[in-house]
């Protein structure tokens, strides 16, 4: 099943969309949060008349599971350039995700980069990085990594051998399988596609369930690979933040993310 099919929504009523959390988009049986955000983003964009996500924030209330789901959209405001849409994802009449997003009319021209005060990490090309394949007899790497083409920088790949480098950093490349083109909602999905930074830090932390995830999409039309960087600086108060930056093959920043997750030492 293609990414486009796995994130499809079908209007079945006024502000009501039928969808399905596809198989193998899960981690320990729970549907990947970034993938669910991509579905919510697609429903919100459709409700806004085919507009692209600019920013979307999601609050996770309950784990999703493989199977039928429903999206309910409410257009809060529609303007000449932007629409604000609230989207609720439900399974078995229970809310699993609540999002609020701003969507913009697609642009034919590319907006100018006025200031860029950062550069992407110097990563080896994708064919020199570790291709991540789901484990057959272990929970990690999870099935969801097999739904995209994900390559990990060799400097951090030792975490897959149980040898974290000691820094809360994840670096790598991502594209969709079978040369399927990225769409704006795929950038939302990418924000949660890689292992948590804590896995590479050597900290006594297990599961890190996401509480809130925000994604800013700067350039929604991307070709080829995206270079992905994730870092965490603080583990305190029972929470961890994870900041993501996403660059295209021309070293242009195309999206950013911030995720707040719960720290679990079990």
**Per this entry, what is the length of the chain?**
266
Instruction: Kindly list the domain boundaries of the chain, sorted by start residue.
Output: 3-107+124-262
Q: Are strands 130-131 and 226-231 parallel, antiparallel or unpaired?
A: unpaired
Which alpha helices (H) appear in 161-227, and where do they start and end?
184-190
Torsion from C-alpha of 96, 105, 78, 256, nearest 10 degrees: 40
Instruction: Tell me the C-alpha distance between 263 and 244, whole Å.
Output: 18
Q: Quick one: what percent of the chain has pLDDT higher than 90?
A: 83
Which residue carries 């950038």 as its tokens? 187
pLDDT digits (tens, 9 = 90+) for 118-145: 999 999 999 999 999 999 887 889 999 9
Tell me if 83 sits within 8 A of 103, measured CB to CB: yes
Q: Averaged over 7-15, what is the pLDDT?
A: 98
Q: Are 204 and 258 in contact (CB under 8 A)?
A: no
Average of per-residue pLDDT values in the chain: 94
Condensed to tens digits (0 to 9), the pLDDT of residues 213-238 reads 999 999 998 999 999 999 999 999 99
- Per-residue pLDDT at 162: 84
- Look at residue 265 and tell me whether its pLDDT is greater than 80: no
Choose the most confident range, by mean pLDDT, from 44-53, 200-209, 232-241.
44-53
* pLDDT recorded at residue 248: 96
The CATH label, of 2.40.30.10, 3.40.220.10, 1.10.8.60, 2.40.160.210, for the domain at 3-107+124-262 is 2.40.160.210
Measuring CA to CA, which residue among 148, 120, 131, 112 is closest to residue 250?
Answer: 120
Q: What is the pLDDT of residues 148-166, one digit of tens each?
A: 999 999 999 998 888 999 9
The predicted-structure confidence for 74-105, as pLDDT tens digits, reads as follows 999 999 999 999 999 999 999 999 999 999 99
Going by pLDDT thresholds of 50, 70 and 90, the confidence category of residue 266 is low
């Amino acid at each position: 099943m293609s990414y486009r099919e796995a994130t499809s929504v079908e209007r079945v009523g006024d502000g009501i969309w039928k969808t399905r959390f596809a198989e193998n988009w899960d981690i320990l049986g729970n549907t990947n949060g970034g993938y669910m955000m991509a579905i919510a983003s697609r429903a919100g964009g459709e409700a806004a008349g085919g507009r692209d996500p600019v920013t979307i924030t999601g609050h996770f209330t309950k784990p999703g599971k493989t199977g039928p789901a429903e999206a309910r959209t409410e257009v809060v405001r529609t303007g000449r350039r932007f629409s604000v849409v609230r989207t609720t994802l439900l399974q078995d009449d229970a809310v699993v995700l609540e999002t609020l997003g701003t969507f913009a009319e697609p642009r034919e021209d590319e907006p100018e980069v006025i200031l860029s005060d950062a550069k992407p990490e110097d990563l080896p090309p994708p064919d020199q990085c570790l291709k991540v394949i789901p484990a057959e007899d272990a929970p990690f790497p999870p099935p969801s990594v097999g739904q995209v083409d994900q390559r990990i920088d060799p400097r951090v790949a030792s975490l897959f051998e149980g040898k974290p480098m000691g820094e809360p950093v994840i670096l790598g490349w991502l594209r969709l399988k079978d040369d399927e083109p990225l769409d704006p909602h795929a950038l939302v999905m990418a924000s949660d596609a890689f292992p948590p930074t804590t896995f590479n830090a050597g900290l006594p932390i297990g599961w890190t369930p996401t509480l809130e995830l925000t994604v800013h999409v700067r350039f929604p039309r991307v070709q080829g690979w995206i270079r992905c960087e994730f870092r965490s600086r603080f583990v305190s108060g029972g929470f961890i933040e994870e900041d993501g930056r996403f660059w295209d093959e021309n070293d242009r920043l195309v999206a950013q993310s911030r995720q707040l997750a719960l720290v679990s030492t079990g």
